[in-house]
Structure formats: C-alpha cells, structure tokens
Amino acid sequence: MSVEIFLHALTSYFVVIDPIGCALIFHGLTSDCDRAYVRQMAFRSTLISLIIVLAFAFLGEALLVKLGISIDALRVAGGLLLFVTAFNMVTRGETGKTWESGADVDISVFPMSIPLLAGPGCLTVTVLLFSKAPGFGENVLLIAAVVVMYACALVALSLSSRIKDIIGRTGDNILRRLFGVILAALSVQFIADGIRQIAAG
C-alpha cells in the first residue's frame, strides 16, 4: 500500500511537472548563457519550486480558503503568466530579445518555478494528494515523491544545455518556437479550465 501511494504520487507529479518538457523550455530561455549561469538557475529553480510545493502541501489549502481564493482562480492566473512565457519564446529573435541573458537576470522564480515547475496544476495535485493522506507515514511518502521528482527535474535542467550541441542552432530555434506554441495552447487550456470551473461553481 505504501509503495502504491509513493508511485501514484510520483506518477502524478511527473505528468503535471513534465521535467523533460521544462528542460527544453529552460534551454530555450538560457540558450545564450554560460554553463555556470545555467547550473545556478537550474538549482535555484528546482529548490524554489520544492519549497513552494512543500509549503503549499501543508499550508496552501488553508491559506487559499482564508484569502477567499480558489484553485481555479490560481489556474487562470498561472495560465496568463504561462502565455507571457510562450509569447517571449515564440517572438525571441524577431521582435528583439525579450529574455535577457546573463547573471543579472533571474529566471528561477518566473517563469521556471512559477508557473512551470510549481504551477497551478502541480499545486492542485499537491492539495488533493496531501488532503487525502490519512497519517504521518503517508505524508512522508508524499514528501519523498516530491523530493525525488524535483531531483529528476534538477538533473534534466542541468543537462538541457547539451541539447543545443546535438540539434544545432536551427533545430534550437525550431524547438523553442514549437514549444512556445505548445505552451501558448497549454496556457489557454489552463485559463479555459479555470474559467469553466469558476462559472460552474
């Protein structure tokens, strides 16, 4: 039973976080940056996301209720932020550099942690999983699943810079814009789902 709880949580987080997809997006945002900057942003992104998710696991539901904010409202806000990210990825190099490269720009909080690695989907799953956990042992297993998933995300982000060497600049441009379009569609879906649930409620 305990193994099932851990595997279920791990699978759920893998689907909503999508560390491979986030790594490709991360590469698109840091394609012109040096390796030290990439490693720093990868570590900070995953650490901040881990802290957010663990804090949300025990305080998120109560905090949202206290503030009168629903998960669906959070989903709409995350979708809007995600659309900004997608727009920047698609238009970069055509309308000017919308994401600056260099150590003076911190992308670890936005857009990597919020709304990508710890977005509304991830926070929703966190609330659902931890609210159903009956005891201390189950909570420990859920925390372990969260830690393992963000360790995988850290590895994926740290290795993302090698993609450019494999696919080349043309492939990099194609992938960045392709995933930008996919992100735009995902953001619209977030917004639509949130609005639909708010209207239904």
**pLDDT tens for residues 74-119?**
778 777 877 877 787 787 654 334 444 444 588 999 889 987 899 8
User: Which structural domain range is residue 65 located in?
Assistant: 2-200
Higher pLDDT among residues 67 and 186, named by residue = 67
* Number of independent structural domains in the chain: 1
Q: What angle do CA 164, 83, 96 make, to 5 degrees?
A: 55
| pLDDT (tens digit per residue) in 33-83 | 888 888 999 999 999 999 999 998 988 778 877 888 777 787 787 778 778
- Asked if residue 153 has pLDDT above 90, the reply is yes
DSSP letter at 111 equals I
Residue closest to 51 by CA, chosen among 139, 131, 113, 124: 113
Mean pLDDT of the region 174-199: 80
- As a whole-number percent, the residues of the chain with pLDDT over 90 amount to 23
CA 152/CA 177 separation, integer angstroms: 25
Residues 151, 152, 158, 163: what is their CA dihedral angle, to the nearest 10 degrees?
A: 180
